[in-house]
Amino acid sequence: MVAMSDSSTVKGSSTMATLLILFGLLMATLHFAGAQTGVCYGTLGDNLPVAGQVVALYNQHNIRRMRIYNPNQEALEALRGSNIELMIGVPNEDIENIASSQADANSWVQNNIRNYGNVRFRYVAVGNEVNPTSSTAQFILPAMRNLLNAITAAGLGNRIKVSTAIDTLRILGTWNPPSQGTFRPELTSFINPIISFLANNRAPLLVNGIYPYLTYINNTRDIRLDYALFTARGVVVQDGQLSYRNLFDAMVDAVYWALERAGGGFLEVVISGSGWPSAGGTATSLDNATTYNTNLIQNVKGGTPKKPGVPIETYVFDMFDENLKSPEYEKHWGLFSPNKHPKYSLNFN
């Protein structure tokens, strides 16, 4: 009986070890999925490849998520059956009509989502960096509600989340140090109802404006380049018990703190655009763009000092250089040239 007991114990330990290994692998898989990085597909260029070639390029480089800023029908056709997950944008100029009419919202969902049943829609982003003091801002939440109603009526409510992409630095009143992060008091009537909507529908907040490059060039006296590029060798900002070696983490944690103060500390944050230009301005170079984007992809897998181990879904900006933008540095954020050649190497595996 002793031998049987020993054997049983060994088998039990072996089974437990196997289960722990499998659990660890599952968690690693889930974390990888949560941190999976996508790329924004902007189209403000007159020399860009056709959408079919763009989708092929995403697949070739194992980029599994895409953000588009409007319901580009050519892109939607090319995405059919591709298995690429999509964030689709509602242009700012369409928000008021969708907010004012459930029928218009229903038509938008029919034309741009339901008609593409074999496209993997992930998010609908209602507006992009709408100025919270503009006349359009009041229509964002009603448009989100109407679109969610239409998506739910189509039986897609569990698969597609409705959110909006905020301009972070325009809405934050304070962000440095991160623990002082708070939304501007005069904008709480704008952001707080959106936070409640997202919480009630288990949708993330889409965060634009986490661009350490722009923050750096606007304050080169006080912000170190290595801090902006993820290359600082030691702690640069000590914020209570939290230590910051890069500006990206500090900016994201300021959003987390602001959400917490607004009652949305449990919301997921998705970085809907971040990158570094390779030419056209201060501190722009292929080396700096490579360094930033390489480190960004790795950094978001591990979370931030405030939320360590919580991966951050992130979209690198941008797929291509866009020659119709200005000023000059705005033309050079692409990972690829319009001829589809990579400007530098990034690993999305």
| pLDDT surpassing 80 at residue 26 | no
Q: What is the mean pLDDT of residues 161-182?
A: 95
- Mean pLDDT over the full length of the chain: 91
Q: Using H for helix, E for strand and C for coil, what is the string for 296-318?
A: HHHHHHHECCCCECCCCCEEECC
**At a CB cut-off of 8 Å and minimum separation 6, what does 243 contact?**
235, 237, 305
Sequence-distant (≥ 6) Cβ neighbours of residue 157 within 8 angstroms: 148, 151
Strands (E), 137-245: 161-167, 172-174, 182-183, 205-208, 237-239, 242-244
pLDDT tens digits along 188-227? 999 999 999 999 999 999 999 899 999 999 999 999 999 9
Residues 6+ apart with CB under 8 A from 232: 224, 226, 245, 246
Q: What is the mean pLDDT of residues 89-100?
A: 98
pLDDT above 90: residue 87 = yes
Task: Name which residue leads in pLDDT, 35 or 213.
Answer: 213
**pLDDT, tens digit, for every residue of 114-167?**
999 999 999 999 999 999 999 999 999 999 999 999 999 999 999 999 999 999
**What percent of the chain clears pLDDT 90, i.e. is strictly above it?**
87
Report, as an integer, the average pLDDT of 215-241.
Answer: 97
pLDDT, residue 2, reads 29
Please give the pLDDT value at position 35: 54
Looking at residue 10, its pLDDT comes to 32
The pTM assigned to this predicted structure is: 0.89
Look at residue 8 in the predicted model and tell me its pLDDT. 34
* pLDDT tens per residue, range 267-278: 999 999 999 999
Report the 10 Å Cβ neighbour count for 322: 20
pLDDT for 28 beyond 80: no
Angstrom distance (rounded) from CA 105 to CA 317: 28
Of 18-32, 52-66, 86-100, 198-212, minimum mean pLDDT range: 18-32
User: Span 13-34, mean pLDDT?
Assistant: 35
Percent above pLDDT 70 for the chain: 90
pLDDT of residue 36: 83
Average pLDDT over residues 65-78: 98
Yes or no: say if 13 and 290 are a contact pair by the CB < 8 Å rule.
Answer: no
